[in-house]
Amino acid sequence: MSEFDFAQLQADLESASRLALLQIAKAHPEETLCSFALYSDCGAMTACIASNTRSHQQRHQAENPDDQAYYKFSPAEWRFEGQGADQEIGQICTRLRERALDIEDDPGFGAFRDQLYQTCVQALENLRNQGVFSGFGEDFLLVFAVSDDDPDPAVELANLSRLNSPATVEEYKAWQATWARQ
């Protein structure tokens, strides 16, 4: 069985992310984007895009004052969840699904899934370092999420810390602290 090309996946994720941002900004010039995410699933069959607008986030936070952080940090609740660069993301997901199905019973599946997750985080970090999000404001949020699992909170915090400002990380930590009380 051949090795999966994670370097190519990363390049494709970065390209699709740039395209998605351009498509959404062009289609919705009246909106102010405030967040961008890549997310996957515990079966390692997807790598998808989500972005949010300030007005969408503020509306949900006003309607749910006790869950403000949830609506900020949860891509499933974002305005453009699963939208942008549809063809490119579709091709990425096809490659991932085919590979995941080929190795789902293999002892190396966990390593494949972990590498997928880290490739997504690295793609986001590269895009930030390249200034792709700089036009959206200093507090622009980047998130990597897993849509159908509860990942290790320490790993989530480490990923968020790689991608965001210290103030955003502190806000996320405060939200994380509430999880144990629920």
> How far is residue 135 from each of residues 9, 20, 50, 125, measured CA to CA in Å?
25, 15, 18, 16
List pLDDT tens digits, range 12-44.
999 999 999 999 999 999 999 999 999 999 999
41 found inside a domain: yes
1 found inside a domain: no
25 found inside a domain: yes
182 found inside a domain: no
Q: Report the number of distinct structural domains present in the chain.
A: 1
pLDDT band of 148, cuts 50, 70, 90:
confident
Is the pLDDT at 151 greater than 80, yes or no?
A: no
179 found inside a domain: no
49 found inside a domain: yes
Domain that holds residue 82: 6-173
